[in-house]
């Protein structure tokens, strides 16, 4: 196999198969999870343009050291996350339940602004329904939403986090602000989920390094100013991959354990419908970065755009379709509003996967 020495190389797992049984050496396991594949799409990029795009059988990537290194990251197990008394394994898709305590949220938390006990009950109910972790936020990131003063954001999320943590629930805090991260972690949160990838607040990276906690780095085009800016992409899949890869390297170099870094391509953040669809179809490419993947597509506007402008509360079917799409392509955390329905869908999907492993 002859590859350009000047090109950047990418591998996207493709040709997924139901079972590896009887196919030793022909298939590889995606991030040590539940999906198996027989080939990679090899992409070579020079000067921002794809110059090669072709399928390569799994066995052939070992012939080139650069490809073998990427393939090793794609297939390597993702370390479990230790969240208080809980251990969250990333060898199968898990549900992250959304609990936004804001006045304009898609989630049930909107009914419990100023009622931390009620919000905590919703979080516990989501855990019972199948959420492995509850992601609580006090500032809306919907397009056009106003920024919230950090003191108000802390007042919204901390009392609920304290109650959830005492119940033994695994909690992540969805915030861009260092002061909110500090307060939430002190209250018992286990993970920081930042839509700005620790770039909005100059102290955010320092807080996460000092806490030693897992962190979710999400892509957005202009994170310092807001999650919905940007002016377009040359190649959205490659551009977002490169941005996330560079951000992971920077955060790891600053002192965050790479095994505790997860990535999120940021569906709907500074991206149009075609961008979002390209990211979803190409999601498996991001395993080449070597981190767990978070997919947050629940109730997003793209679902409405594809279904006669269905409003947010009528996008369950589309949300489930995207959740299964993400699971099939190896996403480890599926961030959703509708926990019970998503957990059920994933259990049925898992049942089909398990059945396929039984040799006939």
Supply the DSSP symbol for 271: -
In a 10 Å sphere around its CB, with 0-12 CB exposed, 13-18 middle and 19+ buried, how is residue 245 labelled?
middle
Question: 284: helix, coil or strand?
Answer: helix
d(CA 87, CA 291): 17
Catalytic residues: 300, 335
Distances (CA, A) of 329 to 252, 286, 334, 359: 25, 10, 12, 23
d(CA 251, CA 311): 37
Residue 109 Cα to chain centre, angstroms: 21
Helix (H) or strand (E) holding 50: strand 49-57
Tokens for 161?
């986090």
d(CA 345, CA 324): 7
d(CA 291, CA 74): 9
d(CA 277, CA 261): 24
The 3-class SS string of 290-355 reads CCEEEECCCCCHHHHHCCCCCCHHHCHHHHHHHHHHHHHCCCCEEEECCHHHHHHHHHHHHHHHHH
């Amino acid at each position: 196999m002859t590859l350009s020495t000047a090109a950047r190389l990418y591998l996207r797992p493709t040709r997924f198969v139901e079972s590896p049984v009887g196919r030793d050496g022909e298939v590889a396991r995606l991030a040590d999870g539940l999906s198996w594949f027989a080939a990679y799409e090899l992409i070579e990029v020079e000067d921002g343009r794809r110059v090669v795009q072709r399928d390569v059988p799994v066995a052939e990537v070992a012939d080139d050291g650069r490809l073998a290194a990427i393939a090793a990251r794609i297939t390597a197990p993702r370390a479990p996350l230790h969240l208080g008394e809980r251990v969250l394994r990333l060898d199968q898709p898990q549900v992250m339940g959304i609990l936004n305590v804001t006045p304009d949220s898609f989630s049930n938390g909107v009914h419990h602004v100023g009622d931390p006990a009620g919000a905590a009950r919703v979080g516990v109910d989501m855990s019972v329904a199948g959420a492995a972790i509850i992601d609580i936020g006090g500032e809306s990131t919907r397009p056009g939403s106003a920024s919230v003063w950090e003191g108000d954001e802390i007042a919204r999320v901390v009392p609920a986090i304290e109650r959830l943590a005492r119940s033994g629930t695994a909690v992540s805090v969805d915030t861009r602000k260092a002061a909110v991260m500090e307060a939430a972690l002190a209250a018992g949160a286990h993970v920081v989920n930042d839509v700005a990838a620790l770039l909005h607040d100059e102290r955010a990276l320092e807080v996460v390094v000092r806490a030693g906690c897992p962190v979710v780095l999400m892509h957005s085009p202009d994170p310092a100013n807001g999650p919905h800016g940007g002016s377009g992409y040359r190649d959205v899949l490659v551009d977002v991959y490169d941005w996330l890869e560079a951000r992971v390297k920077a955060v790891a170099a600053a002192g965050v354990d790479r095994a505790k870094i997860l990535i999120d391509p940021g569906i709907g953040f500074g991206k149009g419908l075609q961008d979002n669809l390209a990211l979803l179809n190409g999601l498996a490419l991001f395993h080449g970065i070597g981190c767990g993947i978070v997919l947050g597509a629940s109730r997003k506007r793209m679902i409405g755009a594809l279904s006669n402008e269905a409003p947010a509360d009528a996008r369950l079917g589309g949300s489930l379709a995207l959740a299964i799409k993400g699971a099939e392509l190896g996403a480890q955390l599926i961030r959703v509003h509708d926990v019970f329905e998503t957990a059920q869908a994933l259990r049925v999907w898992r049942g089909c996967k398990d059945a396929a492993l039984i040799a006939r």
